[in-house]
């Protein structure tokens, strides 16, 4: 439950607003524990053990075929007898067919392996996103109060995509590269050691090149991502606050800030791409250098030491392809490190502490009457700064309790504790003399109909949004709830009436209209306890009076908690609690509090601008 009080308390502690301020998790570009994260990912992969093993076997076959081609190519040259100018046609034809078969087999194996690993990777992301979203439903409200929403969304979308597109595909390439190198090295050593050493000249050159290029480009790529994140944030802010931008004529300033960040993004992206672009041309230089060294060494060995021409040709083939998997392995290492960092961000949320579970064997809580009591309740969000201290009051079933006080005094926090969005640090909260900590959460929250200050609508029709509180409600019941909430008047003026589509982010409805829908939703819920947190803050005075008349009927037989800054809305409450700095200063009816001439009296005088006259 969002609350003004909550925000006021959290800002100094967190250093920014909960939706976009200081992040709960510190950003990092490399995993803190890559081995553990990889093990957890592997455990998910192994749910599809058969498919993963099949992919690895196919990758191994493709690598073996790739390594075998240069050997057979060398044998092709050996079928030619230059001394007698003859050729073994049968062997030549057989070898050419074998080479063609190896190329075809390698293509088929790689294709099948790619299809299998892609299916597994998508299933992996399906599992991670499902488990992540399921975890979100079990996290306490404190998590969302201290974690930027954009960061959480990024984890379930971008980081999950990174796992799919990077780790799954890179893993196959990594296995293929390692197998190709190992098999190639084994074959070359079995054929000729000196030529093998000539081919291995490329190894230190590739390592040095990769380390240099990757180090430079990585810094620029990180700068690119940082600039991109800032740019995305500015775009989101500009679109969301476009009315304010135009109202204060800040278009030029907004454009200037956008252009500055966009220029930084352009510069870092250009440098990143330039440095990354150096890789292939320089790799070609190394490949050609290696090829030249092997050709010269092979020529010398053939003419002076009786080496077969076919063997020299085989090594020329390995010289052309040996650096490629080596470069791939070096490049993939950094890519996989980055992807593991993304996976670690996902697992950080998965490891978050969930809501306190219901006590074992909790009995069903049925037919609640609505008697509420707070007994010496204390609470702190950060376990350091008290927010509520020694709060004690009771509300009889069917009575209305109003909570008034300045912003940040703790009014909404009281309601948050009643809903068990947070658990009290001390004291006891009861409903019908039952400690709410012994009630199953689903049963507890079925006791409440809630209208928040911040209205939440979901993508769907108006009918769907009102029915959200009770999905089994008939259409006539939904329309009756809208009539009681005085929402039917504007709904019936819409072209599609109750079938009009709305969403949580679009401004197709005014704030007042959205609030009326939220009130209709609470009416339909028909729970014994009604919570109205600034429920009429966004409606005009005429509509507010109509809603107040409707709420008089709605409150009959229900315990009602009213939170309001406009004191005119709570005059008829059975008990008014004046909250300040987390303590109850005064309580009583409107008339009783006015006679006391205390804090409540001063608040009324401040709002009305009139001196009420103190009782003697």
Mean pLDDT of 349-364: 75
pLDDT tens digits, 242-272: 766 777 676 787 888 888 888 888 887 887 7
Mean pLDDT of 464-485: 82
Which of 184-193, 230-239, 380-389, 558-567 has the lowest average pLDDT?
230-239
In degrees, rounded to 5, the angle at the alpha carbon of residue 576 between the alpha carbons of residues 574 and 577 is 140
Residue 465 or residue 229, greater confidence: 465
Which of 223-232, 340-349, 423-432 has the lowest average pLDDT?
223-232
Which of 166-175, 393-402, 434-443 has the lowest average pLDDT?
166-175
Which of 261-270, 422-431, 504-513 has the lowest average pLDDT?
504-513
| 307 within 8 A of 192, measured Cβ to Cβ | yes
State residue 608's pLDDT score.
Answer: 67
Mean pLDDT of 368-384: 82
> Structure tokens of 484?
């009681």
| 452 within 8 A of 561, measured Cβ to Cβ | no
Residue 8 pLDDT class (50, 70, 90 cuts): very low
Mean pLDDT of 149-165: 72
Mean confidence (pLDDT) of the chain: 75
Q: How far apart are CA 421 and CA 1, in angstroms?
A: 7
Residue 334 pLDDT class (50, 70, 90 cuts): low
Residue 378 pLDDT class (50, 70, 90 cuts): confident
Q: What is the pTM of this model?
A: 0.64
| DSSP 8-state symbol, 159 | I
Residue 408 or residue 104, greater confidence: 104
Mean pLDDT of 29-47: 69
Mean pLDDT of 608-614: 57
State residue 85's pLDDT score.
Answer: 67
Residue 313 or residue 230, greater confidence: 313
State residue 506's pLDDT score.
Answer: 55
pLDDT tens digits, 72-87: 777 777 777 666 666 6
Q: How far apart are CA 200 and CA 206, in angstroms?
A: 10
Backbone phi and psi for residue 582, each to the nearest 5 degrees, phi listed first = 75, 15
Q: What percent of the chain has pLDDT over 70?
A: 79
State residue 20's pLDDT score.
Answer: 37
Residue 394 pLDDT class (50, 70, 90 cuts): confident
pLDDT tens digits, 103-156: 898 888 888 888 888 888 778 788 778 888 888 777 777 777 666 666 677 677
C-alpha to C-alpha distances, 408 to 12, 386, 582, 598, nearest whole angstrom? 13, 12, 9, 20
Query: How many Å is the Cα radius of gyration of the chain?
Result: 36
Backbone phi and psi for residue 561, each to the nearest 5 degrees, phi listed first = -110, 120
Q: Give the pairing type, strands 583-588 and 575-580.
A: antiparallel
């Amino acid at each position: 439950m969002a609350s003004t009080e909550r925000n006021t308390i959290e800002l100094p502690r967190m250093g920014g607003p909960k939706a976009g301020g200081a992040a709960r998790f510190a950003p990092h570009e490399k995993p803190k524990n890559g081995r553990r994260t990889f093990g957890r990912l592997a455990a998910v992969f192994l749910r599809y053990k058969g498919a993963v093993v099949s992919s690895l076997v196919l990758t191994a076959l493709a690598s073996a075929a790739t390594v075998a081609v240069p050997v057979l190519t060398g044998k092709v040259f050996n079928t030619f007898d230059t001394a007698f100018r003859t050729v073994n046609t049968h062997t030549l034809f057989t070898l050419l067919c074998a080479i063609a078969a190896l190329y075809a087999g390698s293509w088929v194996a790689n294709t099948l392996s790619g299809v299998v690993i892609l299916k597994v990777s998508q299933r992996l992301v399906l599992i991670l996103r499902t488990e992540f979203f399921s975890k979100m439903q079990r996290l306490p409200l404190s998590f969302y109060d201290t974690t930027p929403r954009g960061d959480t969304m990024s984890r379930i979308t971008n980081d999950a995509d990174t796992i799919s597109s990077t780790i799954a595909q890179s893993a196959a390439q990594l296995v293929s590269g390692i197998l190709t190198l190992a098999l190639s090295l084994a074959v070359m050593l079995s054929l000729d050691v000196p030529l093998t050493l000539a081919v291995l000249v490329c190894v230190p050159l590739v390592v040095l090149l990769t380390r240099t290029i990757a180090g430079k480009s990585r810094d620029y790529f990180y700068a690119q991502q940082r600039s991109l994140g800032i740019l995305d944030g500015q775009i989101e802010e500009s679109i969301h606050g476009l009315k304010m931008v135009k109202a204060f004529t800040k278009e030029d300033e907004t454009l200037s800030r956008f252009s500055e960040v966009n220029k930084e993004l352009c510069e870092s992206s250009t440098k990143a791409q330039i440095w990354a672009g150096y890789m292939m041309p320089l790799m070609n230089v190394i490949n050609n250098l290696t090829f030249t060294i092997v050709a010269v060494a092979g020529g010398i060995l053939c003419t002076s030491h009786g080496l077969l021409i076919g063997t020299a040709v085989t090594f020329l083939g390995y010289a052309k392809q040996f650096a490629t998997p080596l470069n791939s392995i070096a490049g993939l290492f950094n890519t996989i490190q980055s992807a593991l960092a993304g996976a670690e961000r996902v697992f950080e949320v998965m490891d978050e502490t969930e809501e306190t579970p219901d006590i074992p064997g909790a009995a069903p809580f049925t037919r609640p009457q609505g008697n509420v009591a707070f007994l010496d309740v204390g609470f702190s969000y950060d376990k350091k700064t008290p927010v509520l201290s020694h709060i004690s009051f009771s509300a009889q079933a069917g009575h209305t309790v109003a909570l008034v006080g300045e912003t940040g005094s703790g009014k909404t926090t009281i309601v948050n504790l009643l809903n068990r969005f947070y658990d009290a640090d001390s004291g006891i909260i009861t409903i019908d003399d039952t400690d709410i900590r012994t009630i199953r959460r689903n049963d507890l929250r079925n006791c409440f109909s809630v209208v928040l200050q911040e209205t939440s609508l979901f993508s769907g029709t108006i009918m769907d949004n009102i029915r959200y509180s009770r999905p089994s409600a008939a259409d006539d019941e939904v329309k009756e709830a809208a009539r009681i909430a005085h929402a039917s008047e504007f709904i019936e003026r819409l072209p599609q009436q109750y079938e009009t589509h709305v969403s949580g982010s679009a401004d197709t409805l005014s704030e007042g209209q959205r609030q009326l829908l939220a009130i209709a939703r609470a009416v339909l819920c028909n729970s014994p306890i009604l919570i109205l947190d600034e429920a009429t803050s966004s409606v005009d005075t005429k509509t507010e009076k109509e809603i107040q008349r409707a709420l008089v009927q709605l409150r009959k037989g229900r315990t009602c908690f009213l939170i309001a800054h406009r004191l005119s809305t709570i005059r008829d409450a059975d008990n008014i609690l004046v909250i300040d700095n987390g303590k109850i200063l005064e309580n009583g009816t409107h008339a009783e509090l006015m006679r006391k001439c205390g804090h409540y009296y001063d608040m009324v005088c401040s709002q009305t601008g009139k001196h009420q006259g103190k009782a003697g």
